[in-house]
Amino acid sequence: MSLDGRVAIVTGAGGGLGRAEALELARHGASVVVGDIDPDTAGDTAAAVEQLGGKAVAVTGDVGERETTDALLAAATERLGGLDVVVNNAGLVRDKMLFNLTDDDWDTVLRVHLRGHFLLCRGALQHWRGESKAHGGPVYGRIVNTSSEAFLSGPAGQANYGAAKAGITSLTVSTARAGGRYGVRANAICPRARTAMTAGTFGTDAPPGVDPLSTGHVAPLVAYLAAPASDAINGQVFVVHGGHVALLRPPSIDRDFVTGGDFWTVAELDDRLGRHFEAYDTDPPGRMFSASDVLELGQPGQETC
């Protein structure tokens, strides 16, 4: 489980979930490049890592910009001596109903979340691929990306966020496939955590006792996925909060309709699909391509193991 001698990059690490992840990695021995758009909060987290006995470098910048990726990678490889772990966490929200979204609302969320993940995944994979070729074998590389249950449920007020998180999920699997031969493991988490970004959804006041939305429920999974012990886990998606770590199953085919002739006709489609969905819409009502049941995770009696 040890990360002694490992170097990690964590984006959005100035506060909230990213800070908790950076500190958890440091507790397990990693040196940390603390990325954040705010120099003050990045510096605070870097100082907290050093108080734990670790090494840290703060890098300020917008993760949607290539220059920030280059600075993060340079800080890891040149100032801390290598790169072993990438945690893509930085993000923001611009929540509105789809008909009220502006071009900028869409572009900003996609740029920070999806482009930000892409830039650092690509840069890290290029680095590890080069190292693998130089050494003639697999290297050590771990990527933990941050998706969201929003990609599963398609929330009406988060079309931009949900689309970005769906893209991150697909990007994670592609990264896992492309990097596997070089020793890289890439996985995604869908966390629920009470942070500044989620204040509008979860509020800011924690309940008495253990907060099910504490970042403390999420950070240990990130540290585990970054550790050598997780080598067998690749291309997976986990929902994590409140003591639960739920491994998601990929979508499956509900029903395969096959034409009775050489080609479909509109009339046959109406007969086959139309009759199916007339019944489909009543049980359960309004059923869509949506894994809304995942949003009920944590209810009593749901534990499977």
Buried residues in 177-188 as b, exposed as e (16+ CB within 10 A)? eebeebbbbbbb
Report the half-sphere exposure of 283 (CA within 13 A, side-chain side).
2
DSSP 294: G
Cα–Cα dist 121/103, whole Å: 26
| Residue 116, pLDDT score | 98
The residue written with tokens 């990438």 in the block is 86
Q: Environment class of residue 264 by beta-carbon count within 10 Å: exposed (0-12), middle (13-18) or buried (19+)?
A: middle
Q: Would you state the torsion angle of the CA atoms of residues 236, 240, 243, 248, taken in this order, to the nearest 10 degrees?
A: -40
| Residue 302, pLDDT score | 47
| Residue 300, pLDDT score | 42
Note the pLDDT tens digit of each residue in 155-165.
Answer: 999 999 999 99
Active-site residues: which are they? 148, 161, 165
H/E stretch holding 107 reads helix 103-109
Tell whether the torsion through CA atoms of 157, 158, 163 and 165 is positive or negative.
Answer: negative
Provide, rounded to the nearest whole percent, the portion of the chain with pLDDT above 90.
75
Task: Give φ, ψ of 49 to 5 degrees.
Answer: -60, -45
How is 168-230 classified by DSSP, letter by letter? HHHHHHHHHHHHGGGTEEEEEEEE---SSTTHHHH-SPPPSSS-TT-GGGTHHHHHHHHSGGG
Give the pLDDT of the chain (305 residues) as one tens digit per residue: 899 999 999 999 999 999 999 999 999 999 999 999 999 999 999 999 999 999 999 999 999 999 999 999 999 999 999 999 999 999 999 999 999 999 999 999 999 999 999 999 999 999 999 999 999 999 999 999 999 999 988 899 999 999 999 999 999 999 999 999 999 999 999 998 766 666 556 666 666 766 667 788 899 999 999 999 999 999 999 999 888 898 999 988 889 999 999 999 999 999 999 988 887 655 565 678 887 777 667 654 445 55
Coil, strand or helix at 31 = strand
Coil, strand or helix at 82 = coil
Cα–Cα dist 265/294, whole Å: 37
Note the pLDDT tens digit of each residue in 258-278.
Answer: 999 999 999 999 999 998 888
DSSP 160: H
**Cβ partners under 8 Å of residue 217, min gap 6:** 193, 240, 241, 242, 243
Asked whether the beta carbons of 141 and 128 are under 8 A apart, the reply is yes
Note the pLDDT tens digit of each residue in 287-297.
Answer: 788 877 776 67
| Residue 291, pLDDT score | 78
| Residue 301, pLDDT score | 44
| Residue 1, pLDDT score | 87
Please indicate, yes or no, whether the overall pTM of this predicted structure exceeds 0.85. Answer: yes
Q: Give the full edge-to-edge strand order of the sheet including 237-241.
A: 56-60, 31-36, 7-10, 85-88, 141-146, 184-191, 237-241, 244-247
Coil, strand or helix at 281 = coil
